């Protein structure tokens, strides 16, 4: 059982709840049918606003600790982006009343640190395309010690606590602490002392029933190779399609058995960003699953802002892991 009074647990849950709920409000107010295909302004505002909230709360709770975030505020400090900065500040002030534009930039830039022995890592909005489609996305925060994730929290506004897609519902707040299990509660209704439900991966053993968790977004994967992998594995189950690290939450809750991040044919040298995998990986592992790279190597979060020595991701319920790695070798993933 997690010690819910632990200061790091309390901070991470509060920070992700505030960031994810603010992102949900921005999605509700700014993402409309009138958006053009290339209009990313809502997710830009949400990314910066969510990181500003986490950076500001980290300063209050653990001043001086490292934060490795996806965003930096340099572009917002230019005069031509003043209107965007004002809009971001408007949203952030709902969580931190009285914050100034300059303080917002400083809070965002808490995330420009390089990883040290111990650090926090944040993806304020994971699942850009899902956010813009008014579908799935997540705010993801993790704490890393000596290259290993010790704590991870996902805020998923469009997944209810039973991990069902429900838009405009309670949302889910998923947390794992190394050695203490994975747990879920309501995102909107979370308060310190809330009831949490423990998560556990699927116990399916028949490869024919193995459900693959797949993204709508294909830029960082290889769709043809995934089809070949599924055939080699012998899976006949329909895939579960979803954006973002929300897939890790589903895997941890038993609603799928395998999640892969393969290398795109035109980006074979791509290495995963640490904030894209840290929180979700520990949540799956603490729910009884297994997460490695495509070669079966443990993920190494001690190599800077990327998983420099890891190729892609293979996450499973544990039961299928060795078989999945063998199938990957067979199809030359």
Task: Evaluate whether residue 1 is within a structural domain.
Answer: no
Same domain, yes or no: 18 and 103: yes
Task: Evaluate whether residue 172 is within a structural domain.
Answer: yes
Query: Would you state the structure tokens that stand for residue 281, as one six-digit string?
Result: 């990986």
Task: Evaluate whether residue 304 is within a structural domain.
Answer: yes
- Other CB atoms within a 10 A radius of the CB of residue 32 amount to 10
Same domain, yes or no: 126 and 255: no
Same domain, yes or no: 126 and 183: yes
Q: Which of 198, 231, 264 is the last residue of a domain?
A: 198
Position of tokens 């000596």? 146
The CATH number given to whatever domain includes residue 223 is 3.40.190.80
Number of domains in the chain: 2
Same domain, yes or no: 122 and 242: no
Task: Evaluate whether residue 254 is within a structural domain.
Answer: yes
The CATH number given to whatever domain includes residue 113 is 3.30.540.10
This prediction's pTM = 0.96
Sign of the dihedral defined by the CA atoms of residues 304, 65, 74, 23, in that order? positive
Task: Evaluate whether residue 136 is within a structural domain.
Answer: yes
Same domain, yes or no: 215 and 155: no
Same domain, yes or no: 163 and 279: no
Same domain, yes or no: 253 and 297: yes
Same domain, yes or no: 177 and 80: yes
Same domain, yes or no: 164 and 33: yes
Q: Do the bridges between strand 240-241 and strand 67-69 make them parallel or antiparallel, or are there none, so unpaired?
A: unpaired
Q: Which of 198, 219, 246 is the last residue of a domain?
A: 198
Same domain, yes or no: 186 and 216: no
Query: CA 109 to CA 117: how far, in whole Å?
Result: 20
Same domain, yes or no: 90 and 211: no
Tens digit of pLDDT per residue, the chain (333 long)?
A: 899 999 999 999 999 999 999 999 999 999 987 666 567 799 999 999 999 999 999 999 999 999 999 999 999 999 999 999 999 999 999 999 999 999 999 999 999 999 999 999 999 999 999 999 999 999 999 999 999 999 999 999 999 999 999 998 999 999 999 999 999 999 999 987 789 999 999 999 999 999 999 988 665 567 889 999 999 999 999 999 999 999 999 999 999 999 999 998 888 899 999 999 999 999 999 999 999 999 999 999 999 999 999 999 999 999 999 999 999 999 987
154's enclosing H/E stretch is strand 148-156
Task: Evaluate whether residue 124 is within a structural domain.
Answer: yes
- Do 174 and 286 contact (CB within 8 A), yes or no? no
The whole-number pLDDT of residue 39 equals 72
Query: CA 30 to CA 50: how far, in whole Å?
Result: 15
Q: Which of 181, 198, 215 is the last residue of a domain?
A: 198
Same domain, yes or no: 105 and 44: yes
| Residues tagged active-site | 47, 128
Query: CA 52 to CA 124: how far, in whole Å?
Result: 9
- The DSSP-derived string for 161-190 is TTS-B-TTS--EEEEEETTS-EEEEESTT-
Q: Containing domain of residue 41, as a range?
A: 7-198
Task: Evaluate whether residue 2 is within a structural domain.
Answer: no
The number of CA neighbours under 13 Å toward the Cβ of 220 is 17
């Amino acid at each position: 059982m997690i010690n819910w009074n632990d200061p790091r647990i309390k901070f991470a849950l509060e920070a992700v709840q505030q960031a994810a709920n603010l992102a949900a409000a921005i999605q509700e107010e700014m993402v409309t049918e009138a958006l053009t295909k290339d209009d990313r302004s809502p997710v830009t505002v949400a990314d910066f606003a969510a990181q500003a909230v986490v950076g500001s709360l980290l300063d209050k709770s653990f001043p001086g600790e490292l934060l490795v975030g996806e965003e930096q505020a340099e572009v917002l400090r230019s005069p031509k982006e003043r209107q965007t900065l004002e809009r971001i500040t408007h949203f952030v002030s709902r969580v931190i009343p009285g914050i100034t534009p300059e303080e917002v930039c400083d809070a965002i830039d808490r995330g420009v640190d390089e990883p040290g022995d111990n650090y926090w890592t944040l993806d304020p909005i994971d699942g850009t395309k899902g956010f813009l489609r008014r579908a799935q996305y997540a705010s993801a925060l993790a704490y890393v010690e000596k290259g290993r994730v010790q704590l991870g929290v996902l805020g998923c506004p469009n997944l209810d606590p039973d991990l069902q897609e429900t838009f405009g519902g309670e949302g889910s707040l998923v947390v794992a602490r190394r050695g203490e299990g994975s747990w879920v509660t309501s995102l909107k209704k979370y308060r310190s002392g809330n009831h949490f439900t423990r998560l556990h991966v699927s116990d399916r053993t028949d490869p024919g029933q193995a459900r693959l968790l797949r993204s709508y977004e294909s830029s960082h994967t290889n769709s043809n190779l995934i089809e070949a992998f599924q055939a080699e594995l012998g899976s006949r189950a329909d895939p579960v399609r979803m954006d973002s690290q929300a897939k890790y939450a589903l895997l941890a809750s038993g609603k799928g058995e395998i999640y892969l991040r393969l290398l795109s044919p035109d980006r074979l040298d791509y290495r995963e960003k640490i904030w894209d995998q840290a929180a979700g990986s520990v949540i799956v592992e603490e729910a009884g699953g297994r997460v490695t790279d495509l070669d079966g190597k443990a993920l190494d979060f001690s190599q800077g802002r990327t998983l420099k020595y890891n190729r892609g991701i293979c996450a499973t319920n544990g039961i299928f892991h060795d078989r999945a790695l063998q199938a990957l070798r067979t199809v030359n993933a």
